[in-house]
Amino acid sequence: MPAVKAKPNVGIVEGDPAARHALAAALRADFNLFEGASYEDAYPLLREAELDVLLLDINLGAGGVREATALLRELTQSDIDTLVIGLNDDAKKATALKVMDAGAYDYFIKPVDPEVLRVIILRAVEKLQIERENRILREELQRKDALGNLLGSTEAMKDLFDSIRRVARTATTVVIRGESGSGKELVARAIHDLSQRRDRAFVSVNCAALPETLMEAELFGYERGAFTGAVATKEGRIELAHRGTLFLDEIGTLSPALQSKLLRVLEEHTLVRLGGNKALKVDFRLLTATNEDLEAAVEQGRFREDLYYRIHVVPLVVPSLRERVDDIPLLVDYFLQVYCAANHIPPKRVEDDVLQVMKRYPWPGNVRELENVVQRIVLMTDEERVTLKHLPRDLTQAAGRNARKGFRLPPAGVRLEEEVSAFERQWLEAALAETNGVKAQAAQRLGLNKDRMKYLCRKYSL
């Protein structure tokens, strides 16, 4: 069952009881409401109710606007991120400017149309959610186990981070190798962001995304009239990367003709647009990526040997997720935070046995596949605790098959009792799910007698 988004928390601090109750009645269906009648009520609401939006009567008490602006300024200097919408009988423009300058999100003259106010509140909540999501991202990416948008604390990732920092200081060409979904473009972006060219453009091109004729125009640009439909001159991706970084993903899929043209650009530092005759100077750093065996492609004549040696100055290998399974809890936690925040869903926690199953799954789609699984769990799960029943069945089945193929100990060893318990609980939950919770049928499927089934269900609170 899909997760239900939590209602935003909205405070109404209004001195007129009739007006306050009318607003509450109009807004209660869409928001969790917290009411107050004075500034003395506003402060505890802001500190304790975790408000998303506060509707504030500006003319409360003897202090009026002065007291309201003092509260707003105090709020902007605190770590409370509640957005305040001012409500006032005073239609003077100067009053509105004072309130907005003090930090209010918006300002309305009473009486306020409740439907208009509802739309404005929802817009404020959306803005606040984006700000919170960005803050989470910034905090995550400043961690010691992160580099750019890459996350990892395993030795394999630490080695990769060190290599990225080293090559970023140079101008050399880099080829990034790794399986699909492992994060090759994130590595390229991290190199660019740490380089001397970080303030210039980072231009990414997926060489496998377009047929040869379109890819040529995409890379090299064209002059007006170069072909049917070329109604205006267009700069290609190589030109757009001038003084910046050009990232060619899946470079092994380029046709021989485009390989030759690219090699000429790298040798001469110039290009000619399609339909043109003028050589244009270009200066860019080239980063490439591939998930195929370029050496084999060279031997088979599918990839130019001279281009291979031109781009293969420094190779970086991005480890697959199978090679860094101890990073899975870190990545799961990160994706949970991002997608819960993005979808206005309360934070979720993953049980240890779920993480153990995830570590046994082979992840053919690597980090991209893991991200998709976590996003699906966030959107399709109501419970705060993520248990084995929330994992896709094909994942748990593949993890079970993978566990039975061979028992190779990971470098850090295992906690055998935890592994056995996780495996036991996995099959119990799967059997109960398939039998709609009928324990007698589940016991039969698992080859257990009634007493053993009862004991295990008590043990795992099933």
Write out the DSSP string of 359-393. Answer: HHS--TTHHHHHHHHHHHHHHH--SSEE-GGGS-H
pLDDT at 202 over 50: yes
pLDDT tens for each residue of 263-278? 999 999 999 999 998 9
Check whether the bond before 8 is cis (ω within 30° of 0): no
What amino acid is encoded at 311 in this protein? I
Taking the C-alpha atoms of residue 140 and residue 146, their distance in angstroms, rounded to an integer, is 8
pLDDT band at 144 (very low <50, low <70, confident <90, very high): low
pLDDT band at 408 (very low <50, low <70, confident <90, very high): low
Query: How much of the chain, in percent, has pLDDT values that exceed 70?
Result: 93
Q: What are the structural domains of the chain?
A: 9-140 (3.40.50.2300), 146-319 (3.40.50.300), 322-459 (1.10.8.60)
Taking the C-alpha atoms of residue 235 and residue 214, their distance in angstroms, rounded to an integer, is 14
pLDDT tens for each residue of 100-127? 998 999 999 888 888 999 999 999 998 8
Beta-sheet strand order (sheet of 32-36): 32-36, 9-13, 53-57, 83-88, 106-109
**What local confidence, expressed as pLDDT, does residue 272 receive?**
93
Name the least confident of 97-106, 160-169, 239-248, 444-453: 444-453
Per the CB < 8 A criterion, the answer to whether 156 and 323 are in contact is yes
**Strand-pair partners of 288:** 175, 248
pLDDT tens for each residue of 346-391? 889 999 889 998 998 889 999 999 999 999 999 998 889 999 889 9
Crossing angle between the packed helical segments 416-434 and 393-405, to the nearest 10 degrees: 140
Which residue has tokens 């200066």? 283
Write out the DSSP string of 127-165. Answer: HHHHHHHHHHHHHHHTSTTEETTEE--SHHHHHHHHHHH
Q: What does each C-alpha distance from 99 to 64, 73, 275 come to in angstroms?
A: 11, 10, 59
Per the CB < 8 A criterion, the answer to whether 386 and 354 are in contact is yes
Helix segments in 279-390, DSSP class H: 294-299, 305-311, 328-342, 352-360, 366-380
Q: Mean pLDDT across the chain, nearest whole number?
A: 87
pLDDT tens for each residue of 64-84? 788 888 888 888 888 788 999
Query: How much of the chain, in percent, has pLDDT values that exceed 90?
Result: 51
Taking the C-alpha atoms of residue 78 and residue 47, their distance in angstroms, rounded to an integer, is 10
Which residue has tokens 């589940």? 442
Return the half-sphere exposure (C-beta side, CA atoms, 13 A cut-off) of residue 85: 22
Taking the C-alpha atoms of residue 260 and residue 203, their distance in angstroms, rounded to an integer, is 21
pLDDT at 150 over 80: yes
Return the half-sphere exposure (C-beta side, CA atoms, 13 A cut-off) of residue 55: 32
Name the least confident of 133-142, 315-324, 451-460: 133-142
**What local confidence, expressed as pLDDT, does residue 1 receive?**
42
pLDDT band at 3 (very low <50, low <70, confident <90, very high): very low
Token pair in block for residue 36: 């107050």
**Strand-pair partners of 443:** none
